[in-house]
Every structure is written in structure tokens, then in C-alpha cells.
Amino acid sequence: MTSFETSHVVEAYREQCEDCVEVIADDDRTVIVVADGAGGTGDGRTAAETVIRETRANYAAMDGSTDWSQFLSQLDFRVHAGETTAVIVDIYPDRILGASVGDSCAWVIDGPNISDLTRTQIRKPLLGSQASKPAPFWHGSLNGILLVASDGFFDYAKRDQITQLIGRTDFFAIPRACVDMVRLPSGELWDDTAIVACRVRRARMSRKQYSI
């Protein structure tokens, strides 16, 4: 059984969605990827899918934040169509590693406190430009909720609203509630929106524990 549990949602604001999400659960390790393809031509989707495919093929060889940063630097030259953001969060029981490019973000939310893992990332150029500058990050063990999302969420949600929502919402309903938070009055979205929530897996009580 994996050490972490996740919930995610991806919703388009037009016919072609260019946000992609991948969650790789591998024993006590979970890798979360959010890639937000740029533009509306379809090439952004292709670029985002390249990030997902390459991460799944190579994650087992990654052993640190520097590895992930170098991986994204190399991937910058292997994205042959379109451009995309990328945030990769590699979670272990005792630490969180990763790297990012662009404006998709990863936050650890513990009550009212927010640790922005991607605070040092460089927004542009994006992957596929052959000029991007991935930023590595490192954090201690996961306490609270890890929220990884595209700018379709983080550009429109306020910090205090996010912490309040996390505190009052069932874990598995968090991604959908986050999407609903940034809807326009019409019900439409400003942008494609991809959101992944992650937490340490909760132990389930046995029947003996339930009995009095």
C-alpha cells in the first residue's frame, strides 16, 4: 500500500483542454505532475502530454531535486511541439523533492500556514522554448495537504479562501471545491484548471477498533 492518497480533477474552459495531470504511486513514493500547455492551437496539449509521458518513463531514475531540475532542462529540448509549464512533486515519507518551470504551483497547506514549494520558479520561458530555467525545491515531510495546480486555479483564488476551504472540506472533495471556487458567475472558468490534492494516507480502523 502506498504511503499517500490523492484526489484530482481537470476541467476545460473550452473544447480543447491543455492541462494534464499524472499521479504515479510507487510503494512509499508518490510523484505528482501538473503540466499546463500554452496557447490554444493544440500544440500546448501535445507539449503537456510529453511532460507526462517522459516523467512516467524516467521517474525511477530520479533521486533528488537536482535530478528533477536537470530532467526538466533536458526535456526542454525534447518537447518538439508547443510549450508548457511543468511542476513535478516527488513525495517520500520523510521529504518532498521536485522542480518546476512556469506558473503552475505546489503548496503545502497546514492549517493557516502555506509553504509555497514553487516560490523560486521562473515563469518564462516555458518548456519547449529551449531556453527555460527549471527551479528545484526541497521540503521536509508532508504535514497537512499538498495542493498542486495550474494557473487556472492559483491565478484566481485568494490565499485565505484556499486555507479556509481546505480546513472545512472533505479531502476527496477538495479538488472539485477548488474548481468551483474560481468559477465565474456564469459557471464558466477563466482558464483550463487542473488540481491535485495529496495527504499522508489515513489508517483505517479495524472492526475490533470500532467495537466497544
* Residue range 193-204, pLDDT digits in tens: 999 999 998 876
- Evaluate whether residue 34 is within a structural domain: yes
The CATH number of the domain where 50 resides is what?
3.60.40.10
Range of the domain at 155: 4-199
Work out the number of other CB atoms within 10 angstroms of the CB of residue 54: 18
pTM, whole model, 2 decimals?
0.92
Number of domains present in the structure of the chain: 1
Q: What is the mean pLDDT of the chain?
A: 92
pLDDT at 1 over 90: no
- Evaluate whether residue 155 is within a structural domain: yes
* Residue range 131-183, pLDDT digits in tens: 999 999 999 999 999 999 999 999 999 999 999 999 999 999 999 999 999 99
- Evaluate whether residue 25 is within a structural domain: yes
5 touches 25 (CB < 8 A): no
* Residue range 5-59, pLDDT digits in tens: 999 999 988 878 889 999 999 999 999 999 999 875 569 999 999 999 999 999 9
Output the furthest CA–CA distance in the chain (Å, rounded).
63
- Evaluate whether residue 208 is within a structural domain: no
Angle between helices 65-75 and 43-58 (to 10 degrees): 140
- Phi, psi torsion values for 68, nearest 5 degrees: -65, -40
pLDDT at 210 over 70: no
- Evaluate whether residue 210 is within a structural domain: no
How big is the CA angle at 160 (ends 95 and 185), to the nearest 5 degrees?
A: 120
